[in-house]
Structure 1
């Protein structure tokens, strides 16, 4: 099988690619993250709340007449240097094709907006959108449950994007309970460094003994914001800020305007605001050298909404 991965600057023209499917790959925030202990298999027992956002990457899938899976990347300097076999989009396509027992090919164009090593789920979301998109394009007709199982093989965060709902998570992040959170607007600051998730979880100084908390009774699936305020902490934050001073600087700057914290293992930090206007006003004051974006928290993934409205 031939393999192809390159960086390009011109987007696919849907007029010359009939049958193409374009889907978002949303970012996520960890509104809280507790590490309960290390498992015998090396993974960690977690409790976290995944908040989906209405901002992220974008993928376009177009069918091919051969069996090639071509991955083209726009907007991510250095991304094309990743070996194709390590690219989560390519790996997701291959694992789906092997599951379906087919030999179909696809052109996949990935437009990157989310930073690597940011703790906002860029790679995991791209993989999930690939599973969902090619499941539709190739007419594999796999269930969401089966796609989530395949996604877990690619990463612990992939299932929440496959299932497509803001969720409380336990285990290694795959045991999910969908919840609805109140509408907030988030300013996410990217401090200009990339954090290795593996390095953080392997570090001897990482907190691994937080006590488990109980998800409160949900009325109509909605999470009480007062409970969330009480438990909004991240067990990775102290360590990451020691290892990456840029992360501490970004959080302390954002803390001037609202309660700020790390998402995932970082490097991004975020704060919640009542309106997009408030968040945008703070974004305009962002120090030189940092990047950021404003996004609304959503309970249903934009990927699932787009699929629901796409032609079958």
Structure 2
């Protein structure tokens, strides 16, 4: 559409996820490493001088009042009393409900982009505080670097990660994150780990066992991917990933899934996938200081 500016909203994967406790208010305490990917949605933004905030194109299955991009823009306008408005729509590429942070990343991109377009000059810390009101993963994308994550997801420490190639597969099953975290089978007492242990790959995803018991398609994808390297689930799923040696190898394996459909019959459902490099920094990192 005319006059819209395009801003990237990268996906992320959890390289591991430990649940180490539970607060009195029910929130789970976790440890994880979040990695940004060179793959994601595109947020289209056009500033308005009349102060209105409008969604130009709807996202199927997402009512406007639940749209994180709309909520982010309205929250920023309310917080700053800005006279500006905006038109927004999103080109979706990140699978919805896959544990890849798509909606959270979209919201973070809205906050970062409007911070510049509306000439607000809010600090990264202030934007992160606003982002936390929208969802636990939003602050990470505003933080804008690969991160060692603790607490309920709000404690972020920059971590340097080597360059890497990833193949990500998403079976078409809907997983309720709330139900997985509420499951009686979920262990919540994993001993706290360290960055040194992570670098030696002495980590896992505590949610995998529960998800695989309830969603056999996820288990099938993990088992099939493990023939290439150690496969893991991202967040609460349904997306799973494996690190590959090169783009060529990743694309060859992806073709076996999307073109030759080797895995669909085993998993019992449709499976989408993509290849992505790991990013070292969010493309809009410079939009806040």
* TM-score, scaled to structure 1: 0.85
Give the deviation of 1:103 after TM superposition. 3.6
Aligned 8 A contact 2:49 2:83 in 1: no
Residue 171 of structure 1 corresponds to 151
Q: Give yes or no for the alignment of 1:246 onto 2:182.
A: no
Aligned 8 A contact 1:71 1:110 in 2: no
Q: Give yes or no for the alignment of 1:124 onto 2:104.
A: yes
Residue 184 of structure 2 corresponds to 204
**For 1:119, what is the secondary structure of its paired residue?**
coil
1:266-281 pair list within 5 angstroms: 266-281=237-252
The runs of 5 or more residues in structure 2 that have no matched partner are: 265-269
Aligned equivalents of 1:199, 1:97: Cα separation in 2:
34
Residue 267 of structure 2 corresponds to none
Give the deviation of 1:215 after TM superposition. 2.6
Structure 1 residues 102 and 297: CA distance shift in structure 2, 3 A: same
**Corresponding residue to 1:261 among 199, 216, 232:** 232
Residue 221 of structure 1 corresponds to none
Q: Which moved more, 1:24-33 or 1:205-214?
A: 205-214
Q: Which moved more, 1:190-199 or 1:25-34?
A: 190-199
Q: Give yes or no for the alignment of 1:298 onto 2:269.
A: no
Aligned 8 A contact 1:166 1:300 in 2: yes
Q: Give yes or no for the alignment of 1:88 onto 2:68.
A: yes
Give the deviation of 1:196 after TM superposition. 1.8
Residue 128 of structure 2 corresponds to 148
Aligned 8 A contact 2:115 2:122 in 1: yes
**Corresponding residue to 1:228 among 194, 199, 205:** 199
Residue 39 of structure 1 corresponds to 23
Aligned equivalents of 1:62, 1:42: Cα separation in 2:
39
Residue 7 of structure 1 corresponds to none
Give the deviation of 1:47 after TM superposition. 0.3
1:49-68 pair list within 5 angstroms: 49-68=33-52
Aligned equivalents of 1:245, 1:80: Cα separation in 2:
26
Aligned 8 A contact 1:73 1:80 in 2: no
Aligned equivalents of 2:246, 2:106: Cα separation in 1:
28
Aligned 8 A contact 1:26 1:303 in 2: no
Runs of 4+ in 1 over 3 A off after TM superposition: none
Aligned equivalents of 1:279, 1:97: Cα separation in 2:
42
**1:139-189 alpha-carbon deviations (Å, 9 max, x no partner):** 111101100111111111111100110000100111011011011100000
**For 2:241, what is the secondary structure of its paired residue?**
strand
Aligned equivalents of 1:194, 1:24: Cα separation in 2:
25
Aligned 8 A contact 1:61 1:137 in 2: no
Residue 56 of structure 2 corresponds to 72
**For 1:162, what is the secondary structure of its paired residue?**
helix
Q: Give me the CA root mean square deviation.
A: 1.6
Aligned equivalents of 2:171, 2:54: Cα separation in 1:
32
The runs of 5 or more residues in structure 1 that have no matched partner are: 1-11, 217-225
Aligned equivalents of 1:229, 1:255: Cα separation in 2:
18
